């Protein structure tokens, strides 16, 4: 019985994780659309970064790389050196080109 309980809980945890990440993607996409509508590059960069992390968690690495690269480009454009440096370090740790 405990073996079945362990298997069930493991599967449930995986499903809840997937659902949680998908909800995060939806919220970040909504925030991204608003940031674009407002023309707020700092918020667009923030939402690109968040979406990149979300997609990385989903193992959608091409989408993750795209969003992280866009965030990096905007941080450079805006002169946000600290955020650019932190993002570049994170991207390097996870194997994304910078």
Which CATH number covers residue 67? 1.25.40.10
Band of the pLDDT at 2, cuts 50, 70, 90?
confident
Decide if 11 is inside a domain. Answer: yes
At 16 the pLDDT is 93
pLDDT digits (tens, 9 = 90+) for 20-55: 999 999 999 999 999 999 999 999 999 999 999 999
**Structural domains counted in the chain:** 1
Burial class (CB in 10 A: 0-12, 13-18, 19+), 45: buried
Q: The whole model's pTM is what?
A: 0.89
Decide if 98 is inside a domain. Answer: no
CA–CA dist 52, 72 (Å, integer): 11
């Amino acid at each position: 019985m405990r073996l079945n309980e362990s298997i069930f809980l493991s599967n449930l945890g995986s499903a809840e994780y997937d659902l949680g990440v998908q909800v995060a993607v939806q919220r970040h996409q909504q925030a991204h659309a608003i940031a674009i509508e407002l023309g707020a590059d700092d918020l667009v960069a923030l939402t690109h970064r968040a979406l990149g992390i979300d997609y990385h968690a989903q193992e959608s690495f091409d989408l993750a790389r795209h969003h992280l690269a866009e965030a990096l480009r905007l941080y450079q454009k805006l002169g946000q050196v600290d955020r650019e440096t932190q993002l570049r370090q994170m991207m390097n740790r996870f194997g994304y080109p910078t």
